[in-house]
């Protein structure tokens, strides 16, 4: 079974024992948007109707998360194999993982954010896949003696929704963010990435 076989949060709950609830946990931290970057992003958005799924990832999702990750000294890994060790049922290739670079300088360490595209605007399936990936990221971190919240993000390129996994509880924020308020979206992303960086730093320093 691959991550893509998790078509809903109900399956995640039934198969992985993850409880799900809606909450309001997000905050904001001001992010200074580069004017040129903003103009390019808005130009790309105008072409969303003729973009393929890969085009949405490359032109709308990736630039946004890479811009914020870079400012917080985190690395975005795109479409890499990410399997649960010893498992035949939890494996696959997430759209994006955010973490730090391992000692070998070529692989991911301590993934703390999983991001998936809501293909064909199907956020239900998007959350099923991302939640399964978050579950594996949590286990991978625990095996490295790192216990931190795992953040999740599902987007169709224009609309963005966020979640957080702590222990066996996945909270999905009730609010929806979009490019219609680009500054607010970046402020929320910046807050999340700052929290990710802070959580990792606190654990890795000990």
pLDDT digits (tens, 9 = 90+) for 80-137: 999 988 777 799 999 999 998 877 666 788 899 999 999 999 999 999 999 999 999 9
pLDDT digits (tens, 9 = 90+) for 14-66: 999 999 999 999 999 999 999 999 999 999 999 999 999 999 999 999 999 99
pLDDT digits (tens, 9 = 90+) for 149-179: 999 999 999 999 999 999 999 999 999 999 9
Q: Residue ranges of the domains in the chain?
A: 3-204
Mean pLDDT of 195-201: 93
pTM summary value:
0.94
Q: State how far the Cα of 67 lies from the Cα of 46, in Å rounded to an integer.
A: 20
26 close to 191: Cβ distance less than 8 angstroms: yes
């Amino acid at each position: 079974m691959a991550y893509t076989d998790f078509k809903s949060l109900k399956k995640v709950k039934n198969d992985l024992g993850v409880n799900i609830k809606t909450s309001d946990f997000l905050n904001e931290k001001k992010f200074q948007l580069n004017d040129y970057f903003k103009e390019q992003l808005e130009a790309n958005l105008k072409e969303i109707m003729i973009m393929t799924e890969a085009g949405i990832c490359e032109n709308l999702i990736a630039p946004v998360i890479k811009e914020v990750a870079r400012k917080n000294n985190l690395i975005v890994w795109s479409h890499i194999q990410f399997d649960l060790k010893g498992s035949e049922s939890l494996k696959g290739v997430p759209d994006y993982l955010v973490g730090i670079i391992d000692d070998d300088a070529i692989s991911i360490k301590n993934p703390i954010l999983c991001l998936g595209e809501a293909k064909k605007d199907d956020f239900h399936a998007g959350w099923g896949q991302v939640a399964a990936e978050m579950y594996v990221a949590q286990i991978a971190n625990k095996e490295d003696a790192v216990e931190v919240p795992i953040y999740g993000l599902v987007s169709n390129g224009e609309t963005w929704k966020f979640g957080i996994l702590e222990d066996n509880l996945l909270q999905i924020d009730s609010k929806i963010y979009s490019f219609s308020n680009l500054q607010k979206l970046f402020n929320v992303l910046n807050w999340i990435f700052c929290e990710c960086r802070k959580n990792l730093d606190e654990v890795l320093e000990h």
